[in-house]
Structure 1
């Protein structure tokens, strides 16, 4: 006979699934593959009842740009991408009923994604596939994130 003190006790069921990721990070840059990654991440966050942190990293204007106007054009394009991302999130997040946050940083995408992932205690990272030939040869953001070995990384085509 098992003593009541030794009998396993039923745990209350939490509001969200305990076996899935609590916080999912998705990196977006406005490219088609990053938008696919965002859609995939949003679906996963909805199904797993996870928090979704969308990270957009604005790149620093290259000091080697020959014309000052070119740097301004890059910044204007990044401003437009950020506005579009905010608008898309406002329109679609309410429908999905997920906890989502947009984080905008300036710098190198790998460094900024890792920093945000550490700050929010990410359980998973999702990014889009790189379409640049040089990244396929020298290593993409996704490959660098996998090599960091801190969380599961999903690469969406």
Structure 2
């Protein structure tokens, strides 16, 4: 049963994606508080990603892939410490690839009831669309976008 079916009053599973940016960290904190108040299961996702342009420079892809993996591991460590400080249980999940694709895949796999992400700080996203905007348009789950 999902959290929005008859007889329940809130999400049972909340997914948040963090990448180390200030807005994603705020989103993670908001999701943790929501999970605590709703007694919901919290999934914290980090996605290691590299630029498609990296493949164009000889030797750059392995170095950038390793750096992306290290950044994701650092963010996971911060998330783990934060959950421990709040005495919250949650699952920390690391994936590699496109953030939108991996968020959607995990949300579908785990049948999440809500997704919490940070707002994009990039000016270009106002024109071409942000990750949060794409998730909202997918229309599969309630999406909270934290500034």
TM superposition score normalised by structure 1? 0.80
Q: Is structure 2 residue 6 aligned with structure 1 residue 21?
A: no
Q: Is structure 2 residue 84 aligned with structure 1 residue 91?
A: no
Alpha-carbon offset, residue 31 of structure 1: 1.1
Indicate the RMSD between aligned Cα atoms, in angstroms.
2.0
Alpha-carbon offset, residue 88 of structure 1: 1.6
Mark the structure with the bigger radius of gyration: 1
Q: Per-residue displacement from partner, 1:15-64 (whole Å, max 9, x unpaired)?
A: xxx41110001111111111111111111111111111111112245255
Q: Is the CA contact (8 Å cut-off) linking 1:26 and 1:37 kept in structure 2?
A: yes
Q: Is the CA contact (8 Å cut-off) linking 1:50 and 1:99 kept in structure 2?
A: no
Paired residues, what number? 141
Q: Is the CA contact (8 Å cut-off) linking 2:43 and 2:92 kept in structure 1?
A: yes
CA distance in 2, matches of 1:107, 1:25: 17
CA distance in 2, matches of 1:125, 1:47: 16
2:102 to 104, 112, 125: 112
1:144 to 130, 134, 139: 134
The runs of 5 or more residues in structure 2 that have no matched partner are 1-7
Q: Is the CA contact (8 Å cut-off) linking 2:115 and 2:143 kept in structure 1?
A: yes
The runs of 5 or more residues in structure 1 that have no matched partner are 1-17
Q: Per-residue displacement from partner, 1:47-83 (whole Å, max 9, x unpaired)?
A: 1111111111122452555533543442233222222
CA distance in 2, matches of 1:86, 1:55: 8
CA distance in 2, matches of 1:154, 1:70: 35
